[in-house]
Homo-oligomer: A and B are copies of this chain.
Amino acid sequence: MTIQEIAEWLKGEILGGDSRIAQEILNVAKIEEAAQGTITFLANPKYEKYLENTQASAVLVSRKLDTRKYEHRSSLVFIKVDDPYVAFLQVLKHFTPKIELFNSGIHPTAFIASNAQIGENVSLGPNVVVGEQAVIGRGTKVGAGCVVGNYTHIGEDCTFYPNVVVYHQCQIGNRVNLHSGVVVGSDGFGFAPQSDGSYEKIPQLGIVVIEDDVEIGANTTIDRATIGETRICRGVKLDNLIQIAHNVVVGENTVIAAQTGISGSTKIGKNCQIAGQVGIAGHIHIADRTVILAQSGVPNNIEEPGKTLFGYPADDARKAQRAYIGLKMLPDTIREIAALQKKVTELENKISELQHKEK
């Protein structure tokens, strides 16, 4: 595609209309690494400095950007669009190479229980294991070494990367992507203390339900419920190395970043954004649209929707960040208090003296 064709396709406005707009675009690139023949984008103002030097042939920018100051960059064509990031995504998809990552059909080393049901156009990689009575929907691709437990149902057009394990009896919707090392349906962490100090295992009889359009990052673990279900609702996106405990519910379109952990029986609302390394206590609920910043600890219910929280115990983020800045001043603060105490004692003495003289 030429620059002009791309601009027309994205309904963008070309700045400058000279011969350069007929140039063919060969690839996409990051603004700081772009070579000639590539198209890039500017969305985060932090990166605007790269407009001075980028070797890209075209750059997608916001309609609000004042491009006059870049008129000297004569080799660079600006395409103004409403949302340069969204426009870039379109371009990105257009240039995505069609590498086939999964073999077509059933690999001869895949082991499928005789009573499992495999849909049309399913890809099963080498050494895949599909258990008794399991169901895999049409168009689903299961990478090498994945294990699908007995009685587990998997929907259509899912992608499981190599070495995923889904335990028995779980239910997975359509268009679910599980990255390598994901474990779904492992036993919840439940043990009843005995009088001799040992623990007896509480059977974990429930299941995991993952609804449609969920993506789960590498090595994330999702435990099955004690009874009932652990549920990851439609559109949820989980990053790598996350822990979801038994009987948790993660609401629709909530996104959670890496290494966060959610304790047992907690219900997370819809459209929440939870950053990395957050810990959320068990048996609580988090309101819809809650934003929780990185490394926070949430011990209690969050009742009011749409708040941004930080710290431990997680609280209004601005207030909490001021508190953490105050923490750094604390040794000074303590010194100031000691100085004040000394001054007040001096004042008390002086006043006693004055009062004494009065008499």
The stretch from A3-11, A64-72, A74-82, A237-245 touching chain B is: A237-245
User: Contacts A127-B129, A202-B92, A326-B334; is A351 near B348 (CB within 8 Å)?
Assistant: no
What number of copies of this chain does the assembly contain? 3
**Do the beta carbons of A259 and B257 come within 8 Å of each other?**
no
A200 at the interface (CB under 8 A from B): yes
User: Contacts A218-B221, A271-B197, A276-B279; is A165 near B181 (CB within 8 Å)?
Assistant: yes
**Do the beta carbons of B44 and A283 come within 8 Å of each other?**
yes
Residues of chain B lying within 8 A (CB to CB) of residue A350: 351, 355
Residues of chain B lying within 8 A (CB to CB) of residue A348: 343, 347
A323 at the interface (CB under 8 A from B): yes
**Do the beta carbons of B165 and A163 come within 8 Å of each other?**
yes
The stretch from A13-21, A115-123, A143-151 touching chain B is: A143-151
Would you list 18 pairs from A and B whose C-beta atoms are within 8 A, ordered by A residue? Answer: A28-B227, A30-B227, A86-B192, A96-B203, A99-B168, A100-B150, A125-B129, A177-B187, A180-B186, A191-B215, A191-B255, A199-B237, A221-B240, A257-B263, A259-B279, A313-B324, A319-B331, A322-B331
> Which residue numbers of A lie inside 8 Å of B, CB to CB?
28-30, 33, 44, 46, 85-86, 89, 92-93, 95-97, 99-101, 107, 109, 111, 125-127, 129, 143-145, 147, 149-151, 161-163, 165, 167-169, 177, 179-181, 183, 186-187, 189, 191-192, 197-203, 205, 213, 215, 217-219, 221, 223, 227-228, 235, 237, 239-241, 243, 245, 247, 252-253, 255, 257-259, 261, 263, 270-271, 276-277, 279, 281, 283, 294-295, 297, 311-313, 315, 319-320, 322-331, 333-334, 336-337, 340-341, 343-344, 347-348, 350-351, 354-355, 357-358
